[in-house]
Structure 1
Amino acid sequence: MPSMTLPRRPALATAITAAALLSACGKDPKPAAPAVPEVAILTMATTNVALNIALPGRTAPFLLAEVRARVDGIVQERRFTEGADVRKGEPLYLIDPAPYRAAVKSAEAELQRAQATLASNVSQLNRNRVLVKENAVSKQEFETAEAAQLEAAADVAAAKAALDVARINLGYTTVTAPIAGRSSVSAVTQGAYVQGSAATLMTTIQQIDPMYVDLQQSSSEGLALRREIAAGRVRMEGTDAAKVSLQLEDGSTYTRSGTLAFSGVTVDQATGSVTLRARFPNPDKLLLPGMFVRASVSQGVRQGVMRVPATAVTRTPQGTATVMIVGQDNKVALRTVRTGALVDGFWLVDDGLKAGERVIVSGVQKLRPGTVVKVAAAPAAPAAAPAATAPAAATAARQE
């Protein structure tokens, strides 16, 4: 019997060991704790933001004069170079003056005749004045002589006026520049017949230094700005509020700044816009009439506003603006806000946030309200740009 039980002990120990190993392998490992998401935040603080609005426009000359014929005749000379600058009063054309010189001489002769008649009548009147006292002539003869003298004086006045007209018409044969500026293409050539009655266009002169820029602003934007000013949220700071900068057709920036000359007071019924006119110095003649430009018009400074990066703002299907904020317990909450203008990549927040609240600016894609997050070092809010631009389309996109 002993010889039969000894071989069982090693087999039993082996079975127990294998069972223990199988039990250890089948036990589930302890799950690892989920990672806490890390987000970057921006702590809200109020600041002042310069509001500029970008508007399209076209350049227009400061002065524009159409040079037209004022007498009839044949053009004998053109005395200027097309496209050149001309001075005020500089001769531009010569219309055949011969008929008008003859008219002046005829008017001079008529004046001399009228003056001679007047002198004769004055002498006759003086003689009759003495004779009527001596009853040498009748009172009727004296009155007739007096009327003749008055009529002769009127003839002299009419002759002088006719001579003045003749001299003026002779002067019109030399066509001069009414303003100083740059001449355009001549509309008539030597030998052409022009008419004063039809006011034949001969050329055009434009003064382009300074230069006007006519801009169009929607009436809704102007209304919103006036409301901001009335509420004290926007202040017009002296001459700085009237500054205008210009971007040319090729994308370059015009080196000289302009000033706002006036703002229209009537809304165009066809376009719903108001005309703004800015004035720019143009000594280098870089700006030409009719150029398409974009102007940035300073419209004051928004006081005590909070700014949120555009990337931190999301919108619901209904268009409501929302942001994610981090509470004191580091839990995420969804906050509805009301945004104003988009200025230099930042939405101006009109309502929904308070100073000191922490807004998530990155890492919001997979977050849900109530999620606990790890907050990165909060960056300071960037300083407001001194000349931030608020495009017209963004200014209009105000969420109520």
Structure 2
Amino acid sequence: MSAIRIPASVFLTASLLALAACGGKKDDKPKPEPVVGVIVAQPGTAAMATELPGRTDAYQVSDVRPQVSGIILKRLFTEGGIVHQGQPLYQIDPSLYRAAVGQAQGQLASAQATAVAAKLKADRYTDLEKINAVAKQDAADARAASGEAQAAIVQQRANLQTAQINLRYTNVNAPISGRISRSSVTPGALVSASQTDALATITQLDPIYVDIQQSSTQLLALRQAIARGGAMPDKAAVKLKLEDGTDYPLTGTLQFSEVQVDTSTGAVTLRARFPNPNGLLLPGMYVRAVVSQAVQRNVFLLPEAAVTHDAKGQASVLVVGADGKVVSKQVTDNGLSNGQWVVTAGITAGDKIIVQGSSKAKPGLKVRAMPASDNPAVIDQKPQNGGGQSGAGAAQ
């Protein structure tokens, strides 16, 4: 029996069909699901911090002025140094004022002696009046003279006190503690109690004030938020950014706000008080104040990586849905607070927000959700096979 010959083309066709079948099985294998790191959104509170312009202002400023006239004998302080309240600063020639004190003392002694004589005469005339040995008018005049003598004592005692005060004013003392300016006079200069020019100026720099400008629109929005219950008043802590962009290391507190709006600028002035132990802040410096005036309630704090903004400024987040697929949600944010976005609307409690691996997560794509790691590289190293747990159930 002769063998049946099969054409070579049949073998070739069969081989191609077998290869095609094998290739089809390979393509049917599901692709690995991208692994993303998620956090579970939970409502909380966030400080409503606003960065506002401001300028520093001295806590206290006092001009040193003479209260009596005379020649300056000595300057008793170092220009630009620190002086303390009550410290002598200038010595005015006390000669005339010392003499005035002596004169007032003599006049007081004379008035006291006159009062003694007048008192004795009044007493004697009163006794004589009882036996009708002297006219009633003369007795009344004697008693009146005694009273005038007592009044003269009071007057002369006041004159003595005035002279003593003027003598004390020849020592010009510091009215407050602080840093003193240069002196406008030198020893030998004549000064007057009525002069308008100050001898020097003392400025207290610790603590120091910062006057902050806030628009009336911002202030109105804040008060309305508090009235609606969406925010609650804070202790109003204030932080500063200096002119060179660095942060001032100490925190201040908000003291008060003006009750009127400046019609030329439409702003309200807020005043904060800062400790300034090293004198780093000087009056007149321009600063940026970060003011925490209230606390927002029922908001979501999300890492910076979780929120993206488009060209129009619209914010959005990527969320892993219940079916494990990525969903893009538009949200409303109220800026950053301590490095986190404050989201006020657009998500709900329990949403699984993608914070790591978002470049691999596209809306509609199914992903494996894992709890976010402190090391983002851990998410990238997760096995990406199709046999693992997928969807939101992986992040519990």
Please, what TM-score do these two structures have when normalized by structure 1? 0.71
1:163 and 2:160 correspond: yes
Q: Partners in 1 of 2:331 and 2:177 — Cα distance?
A: 57
Q: CA deviation at 1:204?
A: 1.7
2:60 counterpart SS class: strand
Partner residue of 2:190? Answer: 193
Closer/same/farther in 2, CA of residues 138 and 101 from structure 1, 3 Å limit: same
Query: Structure 1: which 5+ runs fail to align?
Result: 1-29, 383-400
Partner of 1:6: none
CA distance in 2, matches of 1:196, 1:170: 13
| 1:255 aligns with one of 230, 241, 249 | 249
Contact in 2 for aligned 1:36/1:374 (Cα 8 Å):
no
Other-structure match for 2:269: 274
Aligned AA (1:100):
Y
Decide whether the 8 Å contact of 1:309 with 1:347 is kept in 2: yes
- The farther-off stretch of 193-202 and 216-225 is 216-225
In the alignment, is the contact (CA less than 8 A) between 2:52 and 2:288 conserved in 1?
yes
Confirm or deny: 8 A CA contact 2:36 2:358 kept in the other structure: no
Q: CA deviation at 1:216?
A: 3.1
Native 8 Å contact 2:299 2:344 kept in 1 = yes
**Which residue identity is paired with 1:165?**
T
Amino acid at match of 2:92: I
Q: Identity over aligned residues, as a percent?
A: 42
Give the 3-state SS of the residue equivalent to 1:250 in structure 2.
coil
The alignment status of 1:177 with 2:174, answered yes or no, reads yes
The one of 25, 35, 46 aligned to 2:42:
46
State how far apart, in whole Å, the 1-side matches of 2:296 and 2:228 are. 11
CA contact (8 A) 2:211 2:269 kept: no
Question: Residue in 1 aligned with 2:59?
Answer: 62
Instruction: Give the counterpart of 2:90 among 84, 90, 93.
Output: 93
Pairwise CA distance, 1:78: 0.6
- Distance between the aligned counterparts of 1:50 and 1:188, measured in 2? 56
Q: 1:337–1:352: 8 Å Cα contact kept in structure 2?
A: yes
CA contact (8 A) 1:36 1:373 kept: no
Does 1:375 pair with 2:370? no
Return the alpha-carbon distance in structure 1 between the equivalents of residues 357 and 120 of structure 2.
113
Partner in structure 1 of residue 257 of structure 2: 264
Q: Which range is displaced more, 194-203 or 47-56?
A: 47-56
Question: How far apart, in 1, do the equivalents of 2:283 and 2:146 lie?
Answer: 61
Residue 134 of structure 2 corresponds to residue 137 of structure 1 = yes
Letter in 2 for 1:296: V
Q: Counterpart of 2:288 in 1: which secondary structure?
A: strand
Matched, 1:283 2:280: no
Deviation readout 1:37-82 (Å, 9 max, x if unpaired) = 9796755502435423333333333333221111122222111111
Deviations along 1:220-273, one digit per CA (max 9) or x if unpaired, are 334434444444444557xxx444333333333333333x25222514324422
Matches of 1:285 and 1:342, distance apart in 2: 31
Asked whether the 8 Å contact 1:121–1:149 carries over to 2, the reply is yes
- Residues 313 and 251 of structure 1: CA distance in aligned 2, closer, same or farther (over 3 Å): closer
Which of 353, 365, 375 is the aligned partner of 2:347?
A: 353
Shift of the alpha carbon at 1:158? 1.4
State whether residues 211 and 279 of structure 1, in contact with CA within 8 Å, keep that contact through their aligned partners in structure 2: yes
SS of the aligned residue for 1:175 comes to: strand
1:213 maps to 210
Q: 1:131 to 1:256 in 2, by over 3 A?
A: same
The answer to which of 75-84 and 269-278 deviates more is 269-278
Asked if structure 2 preserves the Cα contact closer than 8 Å seen for 1:100 and 1:166, the reply is yes
What are the ranges of 5 or more consecutive residues in structure 2 without an aligned counterpart?
1-23, 375-396
Q: What code does the residue aligned with 2:255 have?
A: F
Q: In structure 1, which of residues 277, 287, 292 is the aligned counterpart of residue 286 of structure 2? A: 292
For the aligned residue pairs, the C-alpha RMSD in angstroms reads 4.0
Q: SS where residue 199 of structure 2 aligns?
A: strand
- Displacement of 1:174: 0.7
Tell me: CA distance 1:325–1:252, structure 2 relative to 1, closer, same or farther (3 Å).
closer
The amino acid that maps onto 2:367 is V
**Secondary structure at 1:163 match in 2:** helix
Q: Could you report, residue by residue, the CA deviation over 1:170-217 in whole angstroms, capped at 9, with x for unpaired residues?
A: 111110112222222112222222221235411122233333333333
The alpha carbon displacement at 1:99 in A equals 2.1
SS at match of 1:284: coil
Q: Distance in 2 between matches of 1:358 and 1:107?
A: 91
Residue pair 2:210, 2:274 contacting (<8 A) in 1 also: yes
